[in-house]
Amino acid sequence: MDNENTFDKLPVEMISHIFEFLKLKHRKVASTVCWSWYHVSIQPRFLNKEVICLKYMNNMHDVLNIYTKSLRPYFAFRILGLEIKTEDDEDEDDVIDLTKKDCWDWVYTIWPLLASKVTYLEFFDTVKIRGGILPALLSVTQQLKVLKIRHVQYNYKKILHKVNRLQSLEELEIEYIHTFIHSEDDTKLLGVIPETLRKLCVKSLSNESKFIIKDLIKVIKFCSSHLQSLELFDVNMTYKVMKSMVNLNMNLKKFHLCIVNPIDCARLPEIISLLLKTQWPLVDLKLRANCFTYEHVFTITDTFKDLEKLSVSGRSERSFETLTGISGSSFETLSRLTKSIDSLTKLKSLYIGVER
């Protein structure tokens, strides 16, 4: 029997290769067969694709307690639909009573046991962060590489200004943050961001979030020497943000910009002019607005010669007509566009039209 070639005698590298062909649900089943297969299943190549989703749970304490016994080298968590609050959300000096068994007790009891292994954390979909809960989470989660905060409601007075800078953070995404309290305090909402941040994505910030946008400009300047990817979607005051970046020595490879606000659309020629002055070494450029024209495309292709991906789009059929120059000189325009695109020798992906 010892001379038989059984599956468990295969090299770990070969078993890992076989696991790559399995879907996640099948890989989970395979990981329960034996310890050697389990260790293969928690290799970084597989964990990089897994995000543990915790949603609408009243037993977070018990669920997370299970993961404290896991041999996984790191975790990625997505938290959805939790309503976390204290008795008095408005009182900045709340003292949290840890003797109470409540929906937030896991933040102070179980989470610190997991925090050193958490590299990805996402809050999404009506999560209400109050009473210092988010600062408490981030204060002990110092190994974070990716932080995404989407559709989150928070108490502005208690947000992130008490949290140490997350020195390992590489990627930050913020989308539609709603505040309970509008304050004039100079609280540093984004003060957790390290200078070495590489990716920043900001979505859906209205005029009500002026204090966030003001802080955003400071953050971009702070991270300018390391930032490689910047995405701004439906961020009011786009012109002001762009103007603040013109003279920064940035090494941006990826820049996505979506303009929705009518005031910013009216200033699109100025925004494009600012973009052309940046001289960023872009390889991925995506622009979206209702007011682009062929001339904008020409100036972009003449400036950024190293582009591998280019997308210039409108949000309606009307903008498509403007963009494609359906008028008396459409043939000449299309001919010029073809030559302009041909000059981008590294181009691999191109889209010009209506965003679907």
Q: What are the chain's domains?
A: 9-49 (1.20.1280), 51-83+104-227 (3.80.10)
pLDDT at 60 exceeding the cut of 70? yes
Q: Rounded to an integer, what distance in angstroms lies between the CA atom of residue 259 and that of residue 290?
A: 8
pLDDT at 91 exceeding the cut of 90? no
The reported pLDDT for the residue numbered 335 is 81
User: Are the C-beta atoms of residues 140 and 111 closer than 8 Å to each other?
Assistant: yes
Name the band, by pLDDT with cuts 50, 70 and 90, for residue 200. very high
- Least confident residue range of 41-50, 98-107, 127-136, 292-301: 98-107
The reported pLDDT for the residue numbered 328 is 38
CB atoms within 10 A of CB 123: 23
The reported pLDDT for the residue numbered 318 is 55
Q: What percent of the chain has pLDDT over 70?
A: 73
pLDDT tens column, 298-345 = 889 999 999 999 998 876 555 545 544 433 346 677 788 888 888 899
The reported pLDDT for the residue numbered 36 is 82
SS3 content of the chain, % helix, strand, coil (to 5): 35, 20, 45
Reading the block at residue 181, the tokens are: 């309290």
The reported pLDDT for the residue numbered 115 is 92
User: Are the C-beta atoms of residues 235 and 288 closer than 8 Å to each other?
Assistant: no
Name the band, by pLDDT with cuts 50, 70 and 90, for residue 3. low
CB-based contacts of 223, cutoff 8 Å, min separation 6: 193, 194, 195, 196, 197, 200
132: left (phi over 0), alpha (psi -120 to 50) or beta: left
Name the band, by pLDDT with cuts 50, 70 and 90, for residue 88. very low
3-class SS of residue 194: coil
Name the band, by pLDDT with cuts 50, 70 and 90, for residue 123. confident
CB atoms within 10 A of CB 299: 16
Average pLDDT score over residue span 134-148: 87
Rounded to 5°, the CA angle 153-56-67 comes to 105
pLDDT tens column, 235-293 = 877 888 899 898 888 999 999 999 888 888 888 889 999 999 998 999 999 998 877 77
pLDDT tens column, 95-121 = 434 334 456 788 888 999 999 999 999
Q: Rounded to an integer, what distance in angstroms lies between the CA atom of residue 137 and that of residue 144?
A: 11
Residue 242 burial class via C-beta count within 10 angstroms: exposed 0-12, middle 13-18, buried 19 and up: buried
Q: Rounded to an integer, what distance in angstroms lies between the CA atom of residue 122 and that of residue 51?
A: 9
The reported pLDDT for the residue numbered 327 is 37
Task: Return the top range by mean pLDDT from 68-77, 99-108, 207-216, 341-350.
Answer: 341-350
Average pLDDT score over residue span 206-229: 78
User: Are the C-beta atoms of residues 230 and 251 closer than 8 Å to each other?
Assistant: no
- Least confident residue range of 40-54, 127-141, 165-179, 226-240: 127-141
User: What pTM does this model have?
Assistant: 0.79
